[in-house]
Amino acid sequence: MSTVANRPLRVGIVCPYSFDVPGGVQFHVRDLAAELLARGHVVSVLAPADDDTPVPEYLTSAGRAVPVRYNGAVARLTFGPVTAARTRKWVASGAFDVVHVHEPVTPSPSALALWIADGPVVATFHTAFERSRSLQVAYPLVRQSLEKISARIAVSEDARRTLVDHLGGDAVVIPNGVYVDTFADAQPDERWTGTPNAPTVAFLGRLDEPRKGLQVLLAAVPAVLDAIPGTRFLIAGRGETGPDDARELLGERAGSVEFLGGLSDDDKARLLSSVDAYIAPQTGGESFGIVLVEAMSAGAAVVASDLGAFSRVLDDGAAGALFRTGDEADLARTLVALLRDPERRAAMVRHASDVVRQYDWSAVTDQVLAVYEMAVAGRHAPVGEDPSSLRGARLFELRRRAGESR
């Protein structure tokens, strides 16, 4: 166990996004907290959440969130005087050895905690952009607070490059974590299990976020059915896109597409362990690809767009097949070739089962704890409040409002 003065670490983790509608960052925070607690550390999480949202005992609500468009998606954030007061109280009462903020430049409890905390602060950057006007605008507002960060983590090389290009400085790359054995041990469900003549193909993600690429997959369906008529497409996730949209696009062939709605964690693992292939047709804005690792862990063959982040997770195509991003014809050709070649598919799955071990939470948490130890080294007092935090937070809020009014 990592310790400070022969005692467990007291860790405060700040999540910018609401636990009302969990996503990748929220799951990362949740699982990291659970792993740290299992190792005997003391953990408190600060995150937006409605009063009636079921949350873990270790979570303190930073206030109710509102939906904001960000990075091609809708993020639920909270920011302002009430959130600042709750963040200040959380920091003051936590007596943390280290505060770990996620996405510290997002107007959220993460940015506020960075303003308020005086002591060891670790920051994790999840987002990847080629160009980001929002980060360029935000940099003058957060430059001073970024200097308070003791150590930086990026979840992928793409996220690290975004940090370097837009904010300066550098970061150690520590990937998102997955409980690999949870997916590897999941039992297939006969409802979703395919046959050689009727293979099953899965997609998981927000159905109404264009960058998730569902429309690319649906556009590829006719060509796949021409080659393998019995193929079934299992679409899991929430959003406004549904059977009516599929019927409008595919006509009679829409019967091959089944919308499963949102799935529990257990059902997601069973789905991925049942299907012959998992499709990741995202068109951009991806810094890692956690669902690819989940699918690989469950034994599904992965077919993914050739985004840089996905290519790296798939070991440049050795652990999964890649197709040209946004090209439905190439997706169909790649998927059909893989479904028709069970030996190649099995070899990919075997290789993927070795690749995913580096993403297991046991390995990821070891790396995060090493960063904590580096940040905490030489300091014996708990994290306190920066005396300038009230003035800094007010300035941040005033500049943010001024930017929105332009």
393 and 84 Cβ atoms separated by less than 8 Å: yes
- Taking only the tens place, the pLDDT of each residue in 176-202 is 999 999 999 999 999 999 999 999 999
What φ, ψ does residue 25 adopt, rounded to 5°?
-65, -40
Q: Which fold has domain 3-177+360-405?
A: Rossmann fold (3.40.50)
pLDDT at 163 over 60: yes
**DSSP, res 153:** E
pLDDT band at 109 (very low <50, low <70, confident <90, very high): very high
Specify the pLDDT at position 6. 59
Identical topology for domains 3-177+360-405 and 180-358: yes
pTM of the model: 0.85
- pLDDT computed for residue 281 by the predictor: 97
| Three-state secondary structure string covering 43-91 | EEEEECCCCCCCCCCCEEECCCCEEEEECCEEEEECCCHHHHHHHHHHH
CA dihedral 69, 70, 75, 77 (to 10 degrees): -90
261: left (phi over 0), alpha (psi -120 to 50) or beta: left
What CA–CA distance (Å, rounded) separates 95 from 132?
36
Q: Does domain 180-358 have CATH number 1.10.357.10?
A: no
Tell me the domain boundaries of the chain: 3-177+360-405, 180-358
pLDDT tens-digit series, residues 135-151: 555 555 566 788 899 99
Distance between CA atoms of 391 and 406, rounded to whole angstroms? 23
Q: Tokens 């896109």 — which residue?
A: 241
Reduced to 3 states (helix: H, G, I; strand: E, B; else coil), residue 213 is coil
- pLDDT at residue 86, as a whole number: 94
42-47 β-sheet, strand order? 59-61, 42-47, 10-14, 98-102, 121-125, 151-154, 172-173
